[in-house]
Amino acid sequence: MTSHSPQASPRTWLVTGASRGLGAGIVRAALDAGDRVVATARRRETLAEALGPDGENLLTLALDVTRPEQVQAAVDAALGRFGGIDVLVNNAGYGHLSVFEESTPEDVQAQFDTNVFGLMQVTRAVLPSMRARRTGRIFNISSVGGIVGGESGTLYCTSKFAVEGFSESLAGEVRRFGIHVTVVEPGFFRTDFLEPTSVRHGASAIADYAAVSADLKAFYDARSRNQAGDPLRFGKALVTLADAPTPPVRWSAGTDALGMVQAKITSLQAELDAWRELSASTDGDFEFRPEAATATAWR
């Protein structure tokens, strides 16, 4: 069992989307490590079904991350019960998997309301208490689809690319307060992510896309419940990251994610090299300073 030092005080975790899949695995791993958990989901009764009744170390709360008043109420309840939030896990989310033209503007809004804006709302509500205490860990659950796009991922991957950019930028802003942000990129895990209860597909069928849409849906249907990733092992890995003195800004979970991220790195390097001369040709007539061309030189 992964655990932190027995001399350390129990940490308090706030986990969204905790009633199933990766969220439930994270809650169980944190409780096994001797920590306290505030587990949230849209319907509180689903938490009792998945995790059992509330206890000394477990508080379950109803939380729809798309409703700001529920977000603040959940954070206030967590602070009132345990005095602080040491680890925030923004896990709530779902996948809309369809080709872009078969999705609607309402599909786009709904995907971002949960995966991006909801995540931001929870983070905004938790940060003041972490900043006041000068300590905290934030895990934003993205996806390997947050760094590698693909057909049928125009909505889902776009939302997760946004989570990646938000997390990387936020990490630089709050590191000075002892708060570490890690964006987590899972591959395929044995959850109900691809089940009809979770995944959504476009309803505006277009004949030109009929074959590819059918093939993509068949691929995902066949993969559901056959994924290699284990949610409980994922949760234990997050406990290990929470123990790390200097956790990574990005962390990929699963051998499939490792392979896909490595392939993306290789592809980016090859493309950069192939077009390097044309890229360099766009500079104006001024003295180039290499130190200015870094990711921290936005200001």
The 10s digit of each residue's pLDDT in 37-61 is: 999 999 999 999 999 999 999 999 9
Percent of the chain past pLDDT 70, that is, above it, reads 85
Q: Mean pLDDT over residues 120-148, rounded?
A: 97
For residue range 55-81, what is the model confidence (pLDDT) as tens digits?
999 999 999 999 999 999 999 999 999
- Domains of the chain by residue range: 12-273
Computed over every residue of the chain, the mean pLDDT equals: 89
What 8-state DSSP symbol labels residue 118? I
Residues 6+ apart with CB under 8 A from 171: 180, 181, 182, 249
Reported as type and span, the H/E element at residue 180 is strand 179-186
Which of these is catalytic: 142, 143, 152, 213?
142
Given the residues 156, 167, 213, 252, the one annotated as active site: 156
Q: What is the pLDDT of residue 128?
A: 98
Give the Cα separation of 281 and 286 in Å (integer).
13
Question: What's the rounded mean pLDDT across residues 134-157?
Answer: 94
220 is catalytic: no
For 38, other C-beta atoms within 10 Å of its C-beta total: 25
Flag whether the pTM goes above 0.75.
Answer: yes
Active site residue 160: yes
pLDDT for 165-203, tens place per residue?
Answer: 999 999 999 999 999 999 999 988 655 555 565 556 667
Helices (H), the chain: 21-32, 44-51, 68-82, 105-112, 119-133, 156-174, 210-223, 231-243, 255-274, 276-280
CATH 3.40.50.720 fits 12-273, yes or no: yes
pLDDT given for residue 226 in this prediction: 62
Which of 4-13, 96-105, 178-187 has the largest mean confidence? Answer: 178-187
Q: 152, 159, 160, 213: which one is catalytic?
A: 160
Is 217 a catalytic site residue?
no
